[in-house]
Amino acid sequence: MTLTNSIPANISQEQKLHAESKVLKPSEEDHYRIWQAQASPYSYKVMTFMNYKGIAYKKVRASMQELDWVKTVAGQSIVPVMLSPDGQVMQDSTPIMIHLEEKFPAIKTIPNDARLAFIMWLIEEFGDEYMTRIQMHTRWGNEQNQNALSHRIARGLTFGSVDVDTQSLAPVLFDRQRGFNQHLGLVGEGVRASMDQQIEDLLAILEEHFLEYQFILGFKPSMADFALYGPLKVHLYEDPQSNEIMESKAPRTCNWIQTISDLGDPRGCAGQMEFGEWIDFDDGLPASLQALLAFIGKTYIPFAAIGAEACVKREKQFEAEIYGVKATFSAHQYRAWSFEQLQLRYESLPESDRRELDKMLVSASIMPAMMSGGILHNGLFDGFTPPFIKDGIPDARVKRMKEKQNNE
């Protein structure tokens, strides 16, 4: 009996479909290819953004075999990783979206008003860098989510596999994920209760906001929507235990998630095609948006500012007090670099815009903390050129970091 005949019929079909998803057919020369996973918020952040802008792409499942390829081209086993139509490797969700915003400008997701755009970037940064802590708390902090998600992730990794099955891989994944608790400050007295309160407060703010507005910045999607959509949809809304929290405490937020999910979908006229305008900064920010900024001031800002300082000092850990509870975190070099980009965005604004922004940023406890330590330059990323992998080198960022660390 040949090897092909020994493979169950549907697994053979899965392998065929998977192989076809990686190849551009003659009618697909303008398509991007995105290596993604069902449980990855950053994958869905990028894909829904592309759906909204009408950018053609093909989804490739990030199975175990594909993650080996991803690590080869990107230096890390992370998703999403994309190939442009001409075969260039693209990595890192926000730089990918910035590049696509410039390449496909017909449908805008960044406001023209630089003041409102900075508010958007601040919320986007919070969605990317602090929501990870909330995500990991809900996903791995209770037995129901632990069991469901270890099997869901295993199911994606073993698609088309005859060597490893979901049941044997799920416990391995769960054991690995538990190690992230210390990195994200999820260990210690009062921490878990504080995280539960943060989730309740954030959802209450969003519910109040979506009572008056369809999207984060008014009646048209922006990058802030996609950055918050990823973690709220892929983690809280789809994980079983936290889904109950979402449905019972945040029905309007669930409706917003569904709206974002349907963007660009012509089937059954599901995807919304007509939109209003972003809010007018000169009319003042809505109270609900100010409340969201205040939440960011109490969570993301101390976490990011102290963490960036620790990274510049090459410290491996730092302590921060968030929501009145102290926790110890691992210093994360990329997160420090990303915070630096936010600081640089603020510094690049005209002085008159900064003055007007400061009125609400001070009220939200974002300023002066965001800039009090100065711009914390992380030299490990000098020469980093996201979203493209420079000169075909597997993850120039990782390579450069290792080189610099070895020289210090």
Residue 5's pLDDT band (cuts 50, 70, 90): low
- What span, in angstroms and rounded, lies between the C-alpha atoms of 400 and 408? 13
371-382: average pLDDT: 89
pLDDT at 18 over 50: yes
pLDDT at 3 over 50: no
144 or 392, which is more confident = 144
Residue 38's pLDDT band (cuts 50, 70, 90): very high
Cis peptide before 302 (omega within 30 of 0): no
- What pLDDT score does 320 carry? 97
What are the φ and ψ backbone dihedral angles of 69, each rounded to 5 degrees?
-65, -45
Residue 266's pLDDT band (cuts 50, 70, 90): confident
**Percentage of residues in the chain having pLDDT higher than 70:** 94
- What pLDDT score does 394 carry? 43
- What pLDDT score does 310 carry? 96
135-154: average pLDDT: 95
Helices (H), 114-219: 114-129, 131-140, 143-157, 166-177, 180-183, 191-212
Rounded to whole angstroms, what are the CA distances from 36 to 77, 148, 152, 173, 261? 11, 19, 14, 17, 16
The DSSP 8-state label assigned to residue 329 in this structure reads: E
pLDDT at 2 over 60: no
- What pLDDT score does 214 carry? 98
- What span, in angstroms and rounded, lies between the C-alpha atoms of 332 and 267? 42
Residue 254's pLDDT band (cuts 50, 70, 90): very high
Are the CB atoms for 260 and 48 separated by under 8 Å? Answer: yes
H/E element, 81: strand 81-83
For every residue of 343-371, DSSP letters joined together read HHHHHTS-HHHHHHHHHHHHHTT-TTTTT
**Percentage of residues in the chain having pLDDT higher than 90:** 83
For the stretch 58-87, pLDDT in tens is 999 999 989 988 988 888 889 999 999 999
- What pLDDT score does 378 carry? 81
181-208: average pLDDT: 96
- What pLDDT score does 75 carry? 81
> b/e string for 308-339 if b means 16 or more Cβ within 10 A?
bbbbbeeeeebebebbebebebbbbbbbbbbb
Return mean pLDDT, the chain.
92
pLDDT at 141 over 50: yes
- What pLDDT score does 74 carry? 83
pLDDT at 269 over 50: yes
- What span, in angstroms and rounded, lies between the C-alpha atoms of 114 and 368? 20
- What span, in angstroms and rounded, lies between the C-alpha atoms of 19 and 169? 22
336 or 5, which is more confident = 336
**pTM listed for this prediction:** 0.94
For the chain, give percent helix, strand, coil, nearest 5.
60, 10, 30
Class of domain 114-377: mainly alpha
pLDDT at 162 over 50: yes
Domain ranges for the chain = 30-107, 114-377
Residue 4's pLDDT band (cuts 50, 70, 90): very low
Q: Which of 137-151, 169-183, 350-364, 379-393 comes out lowest in average pLDDT? A: 379-393
CATH topology classification for 30-107: Glutaredoxin (3.40.30)
pLDDT at 401 over 60: no
172-191: average pLDDT: 90
- What pLDDT score does 374 carry? 95
Rounded to whole angstroms, what are the CA distances from 172 to 178, 183, 234, 319, 384? 10, 19, 21, 30, 33
Residue 406's pLDDT band (cuts 50, 70, 90): low
Q: How many CB atoms lie within 10 A of CB 133?
A: 23
**Six-digit token pair at 88?**
């260039």
pLDDT at 395 over 80: no
Are the CB atoms for 365 and 297 separated by under 8 Å? Answer: yes
H/E element, 293: helix 287-298
301-324: average pLDDT: 96
Residue 382, phi-psi category: left (phi > 0), alpha (psi -120 to 50), beta (remainder): beta
- What pLDDT score does 393 carry? 45
